[in-house]
């Protein structure tokens, strides 16, 4: 920006892209989060409401409790219900109430970190607000973004919500136990997701029945190891 | 909701950059990439709604320009527009190198 407070602005002012980027504050805080959590894997989990994110994390926590130290920040427009559900199964969890907002912003994570005991934590999972649109634009300082899509939501979502799938490294097709009963093709959703993002990995799972949970937990453990290894200077 | 917070962000940014000239702002032009998920009509509605609480901006109008998505292909050394969210070059190679389409920028501001 050229004109500053001591100069009177007149006429038309062309704005510099870096200083007038409306997401710049968020991106700045996201970087601060990365700097604050060296060696801790941060995973941002996004999906529509009701895709089974909380159930997935409850089951993940139970399976990995002896192998990984996991902490969860869970965002919802209202209530503390999801954090309570996580704590019920022994997961170190803190609720972020967004007060009606449709997404989590980096500032909310940064502030929440002050209230979460991160001693010995290997992986911090952020359960975003259920919404396939807005959260896609907000970097929360994560290493990986994972999108959960339930078989009951339909296999046409990647092309409808492209930015979410474009910015995710992993797609989890959840509620796989319902696949025999719903018109959902894992092949079709994979093809659609890869039209948007050729590199996206796909794991099909059922949190309740256990199918695919080993593959998901193995993915998570592998990324934790990679993150720890990144701390050791080459 | 998202648009409301964006409009407030626009005002906050202007107040930081031009603290003494807010009363003279007449037109704010935004550039939004197609991937930003910002709908121009919703942005206008949010703008009108926020003006209710911000009398200083009553003489200000908002223009929103949507930018198409462009990706870069390593193989062809070429930029291609993305249609129907198919992120591949005309040569067929997929690409996630978005060179345009994620913008959320204030492009120009007109002052009295």
pLDDT of residue A4: 45
pLDDT of residue B3: 84
pLDDT of residue A87: 96
Domain positions in chain A are: 24-224
* Cβ contacts from A onto B, under 8 A: 100
Nearest to A15 among B87, B98, B106 (CB): B106
pLDDT in tens, B52-92: 988 889 899 999 999 999 999 999 999 999 998 899 999 99
pLDDT of residue B10: 92
For an interface test with B, the pick among A98, A103, A162, A197 (most B C-beta atoms closer than 10 Å) comes out as A162
A172: its two tokens: 């989890």
pLDDT of residue A2: 44
Give me the sheet containing B70-73, strands edge to edge.
Answer: B78-81, B70-73, B98-100
Spell out the domains of chain B, with CATH numbers in brackets: 2-111 (3.30.2320.80)
Q: Tell me the C-alpha distance between A25 and A23, whole Å.
A: 6
Q: Tell me the C-alpha distance between A178 and A60, whole Å.
A: 19
Residues in chain B within 8 Å Cβ distance of A78: none
pLDDT of residue A18: 65
pLDDT of residue B1: 53
Is the CB of A9 inside 8 Å of chain B's CB atoms?
Answer: yes
Question: Each residue's pLDDT tens digit in chain A (234 positions)?
Answer: 444 444 567 788 888 766 678 888 889 999 999 999 999 999 999 999 999 999 999 999 999 999 999 999 999 999 999 999 999 999 999 999 998 888 999 999 999 999 999 999 999 999 999 999 989 999 999 999 999 999 999 999 999 999 999 999 999 999 999 999 999 999 999 999 999 999 999 999 999 999 999 999 999 999 999 999 998 876
Is the CB of A84 inside 8 Å of chain B's CB atoms?
Answer: no
Q: How far is B88 from chain A (nearest CA, A)?
A: 7
For chain B, give the mean pLDDT. 91
For an interface test with A, the pick among B18, B47, B88 (most A C-beta atoms closer than 10 Å) comes out as B18
Q: Which residue of A has its CA nearest to B15?
A: A5
A206: its two tokens: 């059922």
Nearest by Cα to B74 from B86, B55, B89 = B89
pLDDT of residue A106: 95
Residues in chain B within 8 Å Cβ distance of A136: 37
Is the CB of A18 inside 8 Å of chain B's CB atoms?
Answer: no
Q: How far is A143 from chain B (nearest CA, A)?
A: 17
Residues in chain A within 8 Å Cβ distance of B85: 159, 162, 195-196
pLDDT of residue A81: 95
Nearest to A103 among B2, B96, B109 (CB): B2
Relative to beta strand A92-97, strand A70-76 is parallel
CATH of A24-224, one of 3.30.300.20, 3.40.50.300, 2.40.50.140, 1.20.140.70: 3.40.50.300
Residue A65's SS3 state is coil
User: Which helix (H) or strand (E) element contains residue A53?
Assistant: helix A53-64
Relative to beta strand B25-33, strand B104-111 is antiparallel
pTM (global) more than 0.90: no
pLDDT in tens, A210-225: 999 999 999 999 999 9
DSSP letters of B3-71?
HHHHHHHHHHHHHHH-TT-GGGEEEEEEEEEGGGT--HHHHHHHHHHHHTT-GGGTT-EEEEEEEPPEE
Nearest by Cα to A163 from B37, B67, B86 = B37
Is the CB of B24 inside 8 Å of chain A's CB atoms?
Answer: yes
Cross-chain Cβ contact A163/B35 below 8 Å: yes
pLDDT of residue A207: 98
Relative to beta strand B98-100, strand B70-73 is antiparallel
């Amino acid at each position: 920006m050229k004109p500053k407070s001591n100069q009177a602005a007149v006429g038309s002012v062309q704005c510099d892209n870096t200083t007038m980027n409306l997401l710049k504050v968020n991106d700045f805080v996201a970087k601060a989060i990365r700097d604050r959590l060296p060696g801790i894997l941060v995973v941002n989990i996004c999906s529509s409401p009701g895709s089974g994110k909380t159930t997935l994390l409850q089951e993940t926590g139970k399976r990995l409790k002896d192998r990984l130290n996991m902490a969860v920040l869970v965002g919802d427009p209202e209530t503390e219900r999801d954090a309570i559900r996580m704590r019920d199964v022994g997961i170190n969890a803190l609720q972020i109430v967004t007060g009606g907002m449709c997404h989590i912003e980096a500032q909310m994570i940064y502030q929440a970190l002050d209230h979460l005991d991160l001693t010995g934590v290997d992986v911090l999972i952020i359960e975003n607000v259920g919404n396939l649109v807005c959260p896609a634009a907000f970097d929360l300082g994560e290493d990986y973004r994972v999108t959960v899509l339930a078989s009951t939501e339909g296999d046409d979502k990647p092309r409808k919500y492209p930015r979410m799938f474009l910015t995710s490294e992993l797609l989890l097709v959840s509620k796989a136990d319902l696949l025999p009963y719903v018109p959902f093709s894992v092949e079709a959703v994979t093809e659609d997701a890869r039209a948007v993002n050729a590199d996206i990995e796909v794991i099909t799972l059922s949190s309740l029945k256990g199918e695919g949970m080993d593959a998901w937990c193995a993915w998570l453990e592998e990324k934790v190891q990679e993150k720890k290894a990144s701390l050791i200077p080459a | 909701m998202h648009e409301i917070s964006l409009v407030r962000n626009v005002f906050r940014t202007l107040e930081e950059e031009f603290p003494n000239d807010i009363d003279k702002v007449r037109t704010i032009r935004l550039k939004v990439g197609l991937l930003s998920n910002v709908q121009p009509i919703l942005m206008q509605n949010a703008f009108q709604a926020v003006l209710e609480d911000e009398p200083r901006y009553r003489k200000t109008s908002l223009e929103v320009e949507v930018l198409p998505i462009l990706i870069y292909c390593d193989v062809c050394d070429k930029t291609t527009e993305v249609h129907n969210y198919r992120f591949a070059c005309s040569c067929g190679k997929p690409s996630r190198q978005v060179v345009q389409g994620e913008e959320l920028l204030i492009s120009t501001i007109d002052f009295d």
